[in-house]
A and B are shown apart, each in its own frame.
Chain A
Amino acid sequence: KAGVTQTPRYLIKTRGQQVTLSCSPISGHRSVSWYQQTPGQGLQFLFEYFSETQRNKGNFPGRFSGRQFSNSRSEMNVSTLELGDSALYLCASSARQGFNYGYTFGSGTRLTVV
Chain B
Amino acid sequence: GDSVTQMEGPVTLSEEAFLTINCTYTATGYPSLFWYVQYPGEGLQLLLKATKADDKGSNKGFEATYRKETTSFHLEKGSVQVSDSAVYFCALSGSARQLTFGSGTQLTVLP
List B residues 65-111 near A (Cβ within 8 Å).
Answer: 89, 91, 93, 96-104
Whether A45 lies near B51 (C-beta < 8 A) is: no
Whether A107 pairs with B99 at a CB distance below 8 angstroms is: no
Please give, as numbers and ranges, the residues of chain A lying within 8 Å of B41 by CB-CB distance.
107
A-B contact count (CB 8 A): 55
Assembly CA distance A73 to B46 (angstroms): 21
- CB–CB A100/B93 < 8 A: yes
Closest CB-CB distance, A106 to chain B, in whole Å? 5
Q: Is the interface of A mostly helix, strand, loop or mixed?
A: strand
Interface residues of B in 21-46 (CB under 8 A from A): 32, 34, 36, 41-46
- Return the chain A residue nearest B99 by Cβ: A99
List residues of chain A with CB within 8 A of the CB of B43.
4, 6, 90, 92, 105-108
A99 engages B44 (CB within 8 Å): no
In the complex, what distance in Å separates the CA atom of A108 from the CA atom of B44?
Answer: 9
- Complex formed: what's the CA distance from A42 to B99 in Å? 12
In this complex, which of B44, B102, B103 has the most chain A Cβ atoms within 10 angstroms of its Cβ?
Answer: B44
Q: Which residues of A contact B93 (CB under 8 A)?
A: 98-100
In the bound assembly, the distance between CA atoms of A90 and B91 in angstroms comes to 15
Are A100 and B98 in touch, CB under 8 angstroms?
A: no
Query: Nearest Cβ in chain A — how far from B3, in angstroms?
Result: 11
Chain A interface residues toward B at CB < 8 A: 4, 6, 33, 35, 42-43, 45, 48, 55-56, 58, 90, 92, 98-100, 102-108
Closest 5 CB pairs of A and B: A99-B93, A105-B43, A43-B101, A105-B44, A45-B98
